[in-house]
C-alpha cells in the first residue's frame, strides 16, 4: 500500500469536479451513493444519528432514481469517498468507491480531524487540498480563498464556498472555519490548482495524445495503480507520450486494439482491472533465509518448530 493516495492538488481537483459537474445532495453517512429508492430505504433503516427524519427522507425521494443520478454525500464522506476511489461510475451504486480501501479507515468528521497533521488556526499559509473544519463539519481548501464542502445549507450538496478566514468573496456563500490541517495519505507540495484544466469525468469523452483534463488525471492514476508507468510527469492531467505508452501497454495486456485512444472498450477494461485488483486476496509475504553448517537433526528440529517453513539442504 503506497504512503500517498494522491496529491493535495488532485484532491482539490476531484472536489471541484464533483461540485461543478455532478448533481449532489447532502445524504448523511453516504460517500457518493446514487440516490435511489433502495439506498434511501437502506440508510433510513439504519437512521444513523437520527438524521433520517421523514422530512429528510422526502427530500431525498424528490431526487431519487434520476438519470444521470443524483449523488449523496456528507461532509467527511466527500473526502473519504474520493480517497476510496469514487469517480462517478454510474454503473456502480457507490460510484466506484470501495469502502475503507486504500488504508483509509471509516471515521466521522471529528475522527478525520483528529488524524490531520500540521494543524493551525492561521489561514495565511494554508495548502491546497488541506482540510478546513469546525467541530462536526469538514471541507477541503481548493485555493484562492475557496473550499469545497458538502452541506445541507445553501445549495444542499457538494458546493464551492468562501473561506471567510481569508476573506469574503462576491458570489459565494461562506463561513469562518476553526482550523485547518493536512489529511493523512495526501501528499502536499508547492503549487496551485490549474483552473484552466477541463473538468470531465472519466469516460465522458475519448482521450488521446494531447488531451488535457481531470479525466486524464483519473486515467493516469488508474494506469499507475495497475503498474503501467506514465513517465516522469506522473498524473499531471496532460496526455503525453508517457501516458500514451502506458495506455498502449494496458490495451495490449487487455487484448484490445493498442491504438493509444482511450474509449468505451478501454474504459470497461480499466474498470474490470481495478475491480480485480480490489478483490484480489492479499498474498502473505515469504522469505528465504540461508543458514550454513546445519546438521540433519537441527534441520528436523526447525521443521518441527516451524511446520510452514521449507527447510532444504543446498
Tell me the CATH architecture of domain 214-279.
Orthogonal Bundle (1.10)
First to last CA, the chain: 35
Q: Please tell me the least confidently modeled range out of 151-155, 185-189, 254-258.
A: 185-189
Residue showing cell 515469504: 286
151 vs 156: CA distance, rounded Å = 6
Query: For residue 142, what is the enclosing H or E element?
Result: strand 137-143
pLDDT in tens, 199-232: 667 887 788 888 888 888 889 988 988 989 998 8
3 vs 69: CA distance, rounded Å = 33
The pLDDT score that the predictor gives to residue 2 is: 40
123 vs 100: CA distance, rounded Å = 30
The pLDDT score that the predictor gives to residue 277 is: 79
Range 159-178 average pLDDT: 97
Closest by CA to 157, choosing from 170, 165, 169, 148, is 148
Range 186-191 average pLDDT: 74
Q: Which three cell numbers stand for residue 279?
A: 478483490
Backbone φ and ψ for 95, nearest 5 degrees, come out as 65, 15
Range 4-13 average pLDDT: 88
Residue 197 has pLDDT above 60, yes or no: no
Residue 267 has pLDDT above 70, yes or no: yes
Residue 1 has pLDDT above 50, yes or no: no
Q: Give me the torsion for CA of 240, 241, 242, 245, rounded to 10°.
A: 120
Q: Is the dihedral of CA 271, 147, 171, 151 positive or negative?
A: positive
The pLDDT score that the predictor gives to residue 313 is: 64
Average per-residue pLDDT for the chain? 88
Residues of the chain with CATH 1.10.101.10: 214-279
Closest by CA to 174, choosing from 151, 206, 191, 198, is 151
Range 80-97 average pLDDT: 92
Backbone φ and ψ for 168, nearest 5 degrees, come out as -75, 150
The pLDDT score that the predictor gives to residue 307 is: 65
The pLDDT score that the predictor gives to residue 155 is: 96
**Please, are residues 117 and 181 in contact by the beta-carbon 8 Å criterion?**
yes
Contacts of 103 (CB under 8 A, 6+ apart): 1, 5, 185
Q: Please tell me the least confidently modeled range out of 25-34, 147-156, 187-196, 258-267.
A: 187-196
Q: Would you tell me how many other CB atoms lie within 10 Å of the CB of residue 132?
A: 25
82 vs 158: CA distance, rounded Å = 13
Q: Which three cell numbers stand for residue 29?
A: 453517512
pLDDT band at 102 (very low <50, low <70, confident <90, very high): confident
21 vs 43: CA distance, rounded Å = 25
Q: Please tell me the least confidently modeled range out of 23-37, 201-215, 247-261.
A: 201-215
pLDDT in tens, 292-302: 777 777 777 77
Residue 52 has pLDDT above 90, yes or no: yes
pLDDT band at 306 (very low <50, low <70, confident <90, very high): low
**Please, are residues 98 and 83 in contact by the beta-carbon 8 Å criterion?**
no
72 vs 148: CA distance, rounded Å = 15
Amino acid at each position: 500500500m503506497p504512503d500517498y493516495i494522491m496529491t493535495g492538488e488532485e484532491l482539490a481537483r476531484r472536489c471541484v469536479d464533483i461540485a461543478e459537474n455532478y448533481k449532489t445532495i447532502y445524504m448523511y453517512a453516504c460517500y457518493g451513493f446514487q440516490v435511489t429508492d433502495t439506498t434511501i430505504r437502506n440508510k433510513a433503516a439504519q437512521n444513523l444519528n437520527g438524521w433520517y427524519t421523514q422530512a429528510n427522507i422526502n427530500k431525498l425521494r424528490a431526487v431519487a432514481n434520476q438519470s444521470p443520478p443524483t449523488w449523496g454525500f456528507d461532509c467527511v464522506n466527500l473526502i473519504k469517498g474520493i480517497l476510496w476511489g469514487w469517480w462517478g461510475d454510474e454503473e456502480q451504486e457507490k460510484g466506484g468507491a470501495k469502502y475503507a480501501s486504500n488504508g483509509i479507515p471509516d471515521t466521522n468528521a471529528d475522527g478525520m480531524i483528529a488524524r490531520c497533521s500540521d494543524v493551525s488556526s492561521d489561514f495565511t499559509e494554508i495548502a491546497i487540498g488541506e482540510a478546513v473544519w469546525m467541530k462536526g463539519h469538514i471541507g477541503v481548501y481548493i485555493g484562492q480563498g475557496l473550499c469545497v464542502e458538502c452541506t445541507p445549507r445553501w445549495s444542499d450538496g457538494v458546493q464551492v464556498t468562501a473561506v471567510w478566514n481569508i476573506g469574503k468573496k462576491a458570489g459565494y456563500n461562506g463561513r469562518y472555519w476553526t482550523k485547518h490541517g493536512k489529511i493523512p495519505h495526501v501528499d502536499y507540495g508547492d503549487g496551485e490548482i490549474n483552473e484552466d484544466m477541463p473538468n470531465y469525468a472519466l469516460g465522458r469523452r475519448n482521450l488521446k495524445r494531447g488531451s488535457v483534463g481531470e479525466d486524464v488525471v483519473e486515467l493516469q492514476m488508474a494506469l499507475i495503480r495497475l503498474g503501467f508507468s506514465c513517465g516522469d510527469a506522473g498524473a499531471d492531467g496532460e496526455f503525453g507520450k508517457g501516458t500514451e505508452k502506458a495506455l498502449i501497454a494496458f490495451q495490449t495486456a487487455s487484448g484490445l486494439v493498442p491504438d493509444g485512444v482511450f474509449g468505451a472498450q478501454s474504459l470497461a477494461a480499466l474498470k474490470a482491472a481495478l475491480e480485480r485488483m480490489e478483490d484480489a486476496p492479499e498474498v502473505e509475504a515469504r522469505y528465504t533465509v540461508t543458514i550454513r553448517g546445519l546438521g540433519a537433526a537441527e534441520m528436523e528440529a526447525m521443521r518441527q518448530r516451524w511446520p510452514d517453513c521449507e527447510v532444504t539442504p543446498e
